[in-house]
Every structure is written in C-alpha cells, then in structure tokens.
Structure 1
Amino acid sequence: MTAWEYDIRSVRTDEWINMKKDLDEIGIDGWELIKMSDDTNESGMKTAVFKRPVDYVDM
C-alpha cells in the first residue's frame, strides 16, 4: 500500500497563466493536486491540497 504525504499551499488565481505556473512548479516536485478551495481570499489566492508518495525522490 502506498503511504502519502500531504501539503497545503496557496495558489494564485488572479489569471489562468499564474495559476498554471504555480501548479506546474508544484507538480515538478511530484505533488498531485487533490483539492482546491472554492473560496478565493482577499489576495486572490485559493487554498490547494496536494499529495505525493512518501518515498518520492526529488529529481
């Protein structure tokens, strides 16, 4: 069975290109987006939850 680690981060949502850039950068480190909040905070950011296998090795 796979063991997972989780991370919670803020992601920019002011423009599609910024959100994509943030998600791409996080994904390069092996994180998979599993949930994004529906609400946007006053800074134009959403809370996102990510997971990756515990034994993931950064390349």
Structure 2
Amino acid sequence: MAPWEYDIRSVRYGEWDSTKEDLNELGMDGWELIRFSEDVDENGNIKAFFKRPVDCLEC
C-alpha cells in the first residue's frame, strides 16, 4: 500500500470558475480532493482536504 501525504488548503468558494481553476492547478500537482469542509469563512474561502501518493513529490 502506498503511503500518502495530506494537506488542507483554502480555496475560493462561490466563484465557480476560480474554484475550478484552483482545483485544476492542485490536480496538476498530483493532489486528489478528498472533501470540502462545510464552513465558508468571511473571505469566501472553504477548506479543502487533499491527498497524494508520497512518490508524487517529484510531480
């Protein structure tokens, strides 16, 4: 079983084109979206939880 690296990041929420752009950029770096938090902060950001295989560090 491959070891995973995890990260939690804030992404723009509600501006769907910007959100999609943010998520696509993270995906190009090997990050897989696991889930979103349910809370949107005062800046319109939402927490997104990601994982990627440790061997993807060279992606």
TM-score, normalised on structure 1? Answer: 0.93
In proportion to residue count, which structure has more helix? 2
Q: Which runs of 5+ in 2 are unaligned?
A: none
**1:33 Cα deviation from its structure 2 partner:** 0.3
CA RMSD of aligned residues (A): 0.7
**1:14 Cα deviation from its structure 2 partner:** 3.1
| 1:1-59 → structure 2 map (5 Å cutoff) | 1-56=1-56, 57-58=58-59
**1:38 Cα deviation from its structure 2 partner:** 1.2
Runs of 4+ in structure 1 over 4 Å off: none
TM-score, normalised on structure 2? Answer: 0.93
Q: Distance in 2 between matches of 1:49 and 1:19?
A: 14
**1:39 Cα deviation from its structure 2 partner:** 1.0
Aligned-pair identity in percent equals: 59
**1:23 Cα deviation from its structure 2 partner:** 0.3
Aligned residues: 58
Q: Which runs of 5+ in 1 are unaligned?
A: none
**1:51 Cα deviation from its structure 2 partner:** 0.2
